[in-house]
Amino acid sequence: MADDALLSYVPYRPAASRVRYYDITLRDYVDQFRIGVWDQEKERTQRVRINVSLTLPWPDRPMTDSLDEVLSYDFLIDGIRALRDGAHINLVETLGDRILALCFSNPEVTRARVHVEKLDVVPESGGVGVVIERCRERARPDGAQAGS
| Domain ranges for the chain | 16-58+67-135
> Out of 3.40.50.850, 2.30.30.30, 3.30.1130.10, 3.30.70.120, which CATH number does the structure's domain 16-58+67-135 have?
3.30.1130.10
Q: Please, is 147 exposed, middle or buried when counting C-beta atoms within 10 Å of its C-beta (0-12, 13-18, 19+)? A: exposed
Residue 89 CB neighbours (<10 A): 21
- pTM of the entire predicted model: 0.79
Q: Please, is 130 exposed, middle or buried when counting C-beta atoms within 10 Å of its C-beta (0-12, 13-18, 19+)? A: middle
pLDDT digits (tens), the chain, 148 positions? 455 555 555 555 555 555 588 999 999 999 999 999 999 999 999 999 999 999 998 877 777 777 877 888 999 999 999 999 999 999 999 999 999 999 999 999 999 999 999 999 999 999 999 999 999 976 444 445 444 4
DSSP 71-136: --THHHHHHHHHHHHSS-B--HHHHHHHHHHHHTTSTT--EEEEEEEESSSSTTSS-EEEEEEEEP
Type of residue found at 68: D
CA–CA gap between residue 131 and residue 119 (Å, rounded): 14
